[in-house]
Amino acid sequence: MPLSLEQQNAYRARYAQMRPGWRPATAVYEALIRERLAPGMRVLDLGCGRGGALEQLGPAVARPLGLDPDHRSLAEHRLPDLPRAVALADALPLPAASVDLALASWVLEHLPDPARVFAEIARVLRPGGAFIALAPGALSPAALLNRALRPLQGWLVPRLYGRAQADAFPVVYRANTRRRVEALARGAGLVLDTFRASEDPTYFAFHPLIFRLNAALARRAPRALAEHFVVVCVKPER
């Protein structure tokens, strides 16, 4: 039986009780966005899919915009009035210095040329603007297994996690370590302001015993092996 998102979230709630102060990376991501968010800001969600951060933030964002290369996902977006368009992250159809916040969740791992994407994000950000991203860590056990089983990804993901095969996009992990993000930011003229790694012992929790073992290991693993990270990169004021 697939490990559903609902089951994973239930295990995350249990882990938060076991480890006070821990929050899933999605909660860290939303909190960091809200810290930077101010009235009237234009907020761009790269790879917005069918919902994402803009759905969670709702009316807190006065001027939202969603971009995604997948037309079907945009057509099925859960905010029917959201301004959105089909676009690639390395060729953003926006003027320079036109965005206050750029967001990306579960996008960095898919980028074949992240340097071009970071350069485009830096171009469209206004001075003082920020890029906030949530992504899997390239050195986590889940990512390493994902790479090892890449030819079977389209077959395994629906069976293990109940996700549609059409949503199992290829991953390359070329922007998914702190060192790599810092280098990409520097090359684009951005400054790495925040990097928060977050372990997540739920990815192989197909049985409660496996979850307990994963939870015990996660608390002792080096931060470099964490399943997720959230990063904030800032465009300096001129």
pLDDT at position 162 is: 61
pLDDT at position 217 is: 92
Q: Which residues make Cβ contacts (< 8 Å) with residue 3, sequence separation at least 6?
A: 160, 161, 162, 202, 203, 205, 206
CATH value at residue 202: 3.40.50.150
pLDDT at position 236 is: 98
pLDDT at position 161 is: 61
3-state secondary structure 125-151: EEEEEEEEEEEECCCCHHHHHHHHCHH
Look up residue 127 and give its amino acid: P
Tens-place pLDDT, residues 108-134 = 999 999 999 999 999 999 999 999 999
Segments forming the whole domain that contains residue 100: 5-234
pLDDT of residue 159 exceeding 80, the answer is no
What are the tokens at 153? 């990804």
Domain count, the chain: 1
Q: Please tell me the distance from the alpha carbon of residue 47 to that of residue 3, in angstroms, as a whole number.
A: 24
**DSSP summary character for residue 42:** E
pLDDT of residue 180 exceeding 80, the answer is yes
- Specify burial of residue 27 (Cβ count, 10 A radius: 0-12, 13-18, 19+): middle
Tens-place pLDDT, residues 56-95 = 999 999 999 999 999 999 999 999 999 999 999 999 999 9
